[in-house]
Amino acid sequence: MTMKQSILWLAGILLLLPVIVSGQSVTGAPVLADPPALAGGPDILDYSGYGYVNVLVLFTEYDTNPLEGADVYLLKEDGLIEDYKLTDASGQLEFAAPAGIYYLGAYYGTDYREQMVVLEANKVADGINLIFSYNPGTFGSMFRSKLDPVCFGPFSLQVLKLYSGYVALVPDVEVQILLPDNTLVKAAMSNYLGEVTFLLGEGFYKVRVTVDDIEQTRLLYMSCTTPPKLMQFLF
Q: What is the CATH number of the domain that holds 71?
A: 2.60.40.10
Residue 93 belongs to some domain of the structure:
yes
How does strand 50-60 pair with strand 128-136?
parallel
pLDDT score at 130 = 83
Domain end residue (candidates: 144, 160, 195) = 144
Report CA dihedral (115, 227, 156, 73) to the nearest 10 degrees. 20
Domain end residue (candidates: 117, 144, 171) = 144
SS3 state at 2: coil
Of residues 215 and 35, which shows the higher confidence score? 215
For residue 159, give the nearest of 194, 193, 186 by alpha carbon: 194
Residue 27 belongs to some domain of the structure:
no
Burial group, residue 51, by CB count within 10 angstroms (0-12, 13-18, 19+): buried
pLDDT score at 1 = 59
pLDDT score at 142 = 31
Rg (CA), the chain: 30
Residue 19 scores a pLDDT above 70? no
Residue range of the domain that includes 210? 152-234
Residue 42 belongs to some domain of the structure:
no
Contact between 170 and 158 under an 8 Å Cβ cutoff? The reply is no
Q: Give the predicted TM-score (pTM) of the model.
A: 0.43
Percentage of the chain modeled with pLDDT above 70: 67
pLDDT score at 225 = 65
Same domain, 109 and 93: yes
Query: What domain count does the chain have?
Result: 2
pLDDT per position as a tens digit, 186-208? 888 888 888 888 878 778 889 99
Residue 136 scores a pLDDT above 80? no
- CA gap 145, 203 in Å, rounded: 23
pLDDT score at 5 = 57
Residue 25 scores a pLDDT above 80? no
Average pLDDT, the chain: 73
Same domain, 98 and 166: no
Residue 3 belongs to some domain of the structure:
no
